[in-house]
């Protein structure tokens, strides 16, 4: 060592670079934040506690519907008209699905609070159909891993195909009845649900000859 002292040079360990939060973590955090913002907005404008929480149940479902649409339609959209956006949505479909589950959990908290402050219970049909949809949603979230895909095999595809259509049905049915009962303000939501289903059916129809030829 030239002209230098013989003291050993202290080497500090490289700072552990914080691994970037996974896309799933980022999307779930953003979804939770967005859903809580919807609750805040609902509570801010409500005329009474009951009405505020009813709005919170509505706005959180609306927000999670906007996350559900790309989960439901990404593959078909990409098959029919591939673009940078459709490819990105398809690549992040699992993270988007978990973000949807996060946002819809805020809907669950919002509706439970609504019924609690109102001092009533959901009607039995909503409880069975809506409750069944939540159980299915959490089964899909719990199996959104590569290990579960490998372990469950065909049952994984059966669960996730059944689940995504079951959730679609609850959204479409809710917006269909609201459009009939409460007016055209709900029609854009119903139209979006029908358009997303249309994308899936058309892309499946176009895939069939190719699948048959491959057999
Ligand atoms: C036990 C299960 C559930 C209960 C008790 C429940 C209850 C509620 C309540 C109280 C509202 C507000 C009602 C109002 O406007 O007066 C609401 C709105 C809504 N819920 Fe749920 N819900 C459940 C599950 C679900 C599920 C699983 C979905 C979708 C997959 C869903 C989608 C919606 C939609 C789309 C709205 C209307 C939002 C809007 O006004 O734009 N709900 N729900």
Confidence of residue 3 (pLDDT cuts 50, 70, 90): very low
The stretch 33-47 carries a mean pLDDT of 93
The residue nearest atom 34 of ligand 1, judged by CA position, is: 61
Average pLDDT over residues 97-123: 97
Burial of 39 per CB tally in 10 Å (0-12, 13-18, 19+): buried
pTM of the model as a whole: 0.89
- Residue 2 is predicted with a pLDDT of 44
The mean of the pLDDT values for the chain is: 90
Q: How far is CA 193 from CA 4, 50, 168, in A?
A: 74, 29, 7
Counting residues of the chain whose pLDDT is more than 90, the rounded percentage is 81
In a 13 Å sphere around the CA of 121, the CA atoms on its Cβ side amount to: 6
Ramachandran category for residue 12: left, alpha or beta (phi over 0 → left; psi -120 to 50 → alpha): beta
Which run of H or of E encompasses 209? helix 187-214
Examine the pLDDT at 19 and tell me if it is beyond 90.
Answer: no
Calculate mean pLDDT across residues 120-129: 95
| Neighbouring C-alpha atoms within 13 Å toward the C-beta of 157 | 3
Task: Using the mean position of ligand 1's atoms as its centre, give its distance from the Cα of residue 107 in Å.
Answer: 7
Q: Is the CB of 170 under 6 A from ligand 1?
A: yes
Query: Ligand 1: which atom is nearest the Cα of residue 122?
Result: 5
Give the end-to-end CA distance of the chain in Å, rounded to a whole number.
73
Given ligand 1 and candidates 55, 59, 63, 107, which is best to mutate, with the most ligand atoms within 8 Å of its CB? 107
**Residues 154-179: tens digit of each pLDDT:** 999 999 999 999 999 999 999 999 99
Q: What percent of the chain is modeled with pLDDT above 70?
A: 88
């Amino acid at each position: 060592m030239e002209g230098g002292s013989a003291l050993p040079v202290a080497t500090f360990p490289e700072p552990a670079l914080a691994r970037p939060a996974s896309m799933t973590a980022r999307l779930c955090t953003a979804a939770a934040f967005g859903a809580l913002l919807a609750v805040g907005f609902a509570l801010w404008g409500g005329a009474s506690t009951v009405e505020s929480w009813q709005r919170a149940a509505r706005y959180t479902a609306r927000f999670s519907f906007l996350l559900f649409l790309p989960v439901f339609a990404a593959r078909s959209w990409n098959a029919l008209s591939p673009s940078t956006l459709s490819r990105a949505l398809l690549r992040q479909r699992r993270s988007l699905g978990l973000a949807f589950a996060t946002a819809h959990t805020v809907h669950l908290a919002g509706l439970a609070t609504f019924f609690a402050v109102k001092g009533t219970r959901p009607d039995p049909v909503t409880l069975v159909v809506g409750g069944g949809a939540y159980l299915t949603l959490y089964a899909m979230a719990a199996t959104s891993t590569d290990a579960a895909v490998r372990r469950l095999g065909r049952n994984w595809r059966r669960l996730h195909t059944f689940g995504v259509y079951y959730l679609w049905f609850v959204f479409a049915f809710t917006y269909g009845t609201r459009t009939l009962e409460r007016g055209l303000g709900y029609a854009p939501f119903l139209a979006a649900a029908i358009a997303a289903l249309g994308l899936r059916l058309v892309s499946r129809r176009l895939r069939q000859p190719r699948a048959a030829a491959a057999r």
